[in-house]
Amino acid sequence: MRTNRRWLWIALISLALSVRLGAAAAWDWRFQGRLVFGDSASYWHLARAAARGEPFQYGDYGRVFRTPGYPLLLALLFLVAGDSPPFFAARLLGVILGTVGVLAAGRLGKLLWGDHAGWCAAFVAAVHPECVLSSVPILSEAAFCPIWVLHLACLAALMRFAQSPAAWTWAVCSGATAGIAVLIRPSALLWLPFAISFLAIWDRKALSSRLLAVVGGTAIVVLLPWWVRNYSVTGRWIWTTTQVGPSLYDGCNPNADGASNMDFMESAVENAKRALGEGATDSLAVEMEIDRRLRQEAVHWAATHPGSFLRLAVVKLRRFWSPIPNEASFNTFPINLAMAAGFLVVVVPAAVGLVLGETPRAALMICWLPAAYFTFLHMIFVSSVRYRQPVMFGLIVAAAPVFAKTIETLRSRRRERDLSETSANVVEERKPGTPPSP
């Protein structure tokens, strides 16, 4: 039995690797080995700077432009392959990380539902278009999605073994992975406060306050070096980056349409320089002023235009849960067909399990609460199918028991049919006067 499982794991890992490797090769061929997104260029620049030991800065006003998680991971490529590693090397790194995410999804499914659901979750995650796509571009999703699923798996283990001595280990792992997730993508910063508040209201007995304190404390320990670094650079406690203001204004301004459009940054720089006057020669002061002013303007616009803000939030909700890509350049056949099929194959069974009331509390917390968190977040900030990719792993796990039950039902029907056919043949053979077979 163990041998069969070992071969199943080998087959699953091979499938996840081969699908992602093929997608990475296709992406590289389609875009001729170029960087496609502006975000990719910033990650690549910061990775090179980190490998060289240069200041962690992007552009004139980017001392705290990105959190360091993904650039430091890419910096390993520069340390190994020299000053100009091929972009495909970063995609290969994403292929490996994506396969880790598949295994983590399988483990999460097993913790919540059992072996069969775990296998189903891992298989679907191995081939699902959005899960595969998260591994290919040089974007933070390549690292964030695997560490996010690992965090959810640790959290599920913590909830399952909350009464055992192992709970303390799982609490540390949950907090550590949550902290690393924030260092890769700042949007995860409020996840633990959100989840802990939800538990305190919904199910106080799920986890003790001491375990929750260990989770939060470990996350703070992981984030503390970045906070200290930011304080040493800016003289202020900056929890993520100075891009909160521009990102918030990108999602909440009179011209916002739900997509990202940072054309306002040039005028924002000029306005910050005028406001600073003589201090405008200090690039760090300009960076901090841009963050402050844009954050203030975004909040003011939302407060004074509540109707427009709510209508825009609905647009962002539709963009976030769109079955097909939002961007016209990616919304082409057969990409849109594969994306729509993958979306429906996961969301419909997950919703069926939720509606039928077969989803236990732990699964609601692990699979559905992150979906609510990221949905709310991107109804305020800019929204896209891209930002839904971490959510899909949880929904795949939520759909896994429906897949497993469907497979078992089909197998049972097949066994019953085979048994009835065998019984009919035996009865036929026992009939008197039946001529022998030739």
What's the pTM?
Answer: 0.93
Nearest residue to 67 (alpha-carbon basis) of 189, 160, 167: 189
Residue pLDDT, tens place only, 22-67: 999 999 998 888 888 889 999 999 999 999 999 999 998 999 999 9
**Which residue type sits at 254?**
P
Looking at residue 196, its amino acid is I
Predicted confidence at residue 437, as pLDDT, reads 44
Q: Which of 110, 107, 112, 106 is nearest to 359 (CA)?
A: 112
Sign of the four-CA dihedral 79, 81, 82, 84: negative
The encoded tokens of residue 114 equal 């059992």
pLDDT in tens, 273-328: 999 987 677 899 999 999 999 999 999 999 999 999 999 999 999 999 999 998 88
Name the residue among 206, 116, 191 with its Cα closest to residue 375: 191
Six-digit token pair at 205?
């007995």
Query: Residue 199: its pLDDT value, please?
Result: 84
Most confident of 94-103, 110-119, 158-167: 94-103
Length of the chain: 438
- What sign results for the dihedral spanned by CA atoms 271, 276, 277, 278? negative
Per-residue confidence (pLDDT) for residue 3, from 0 to 100: 67
pLDDT at 431: 58
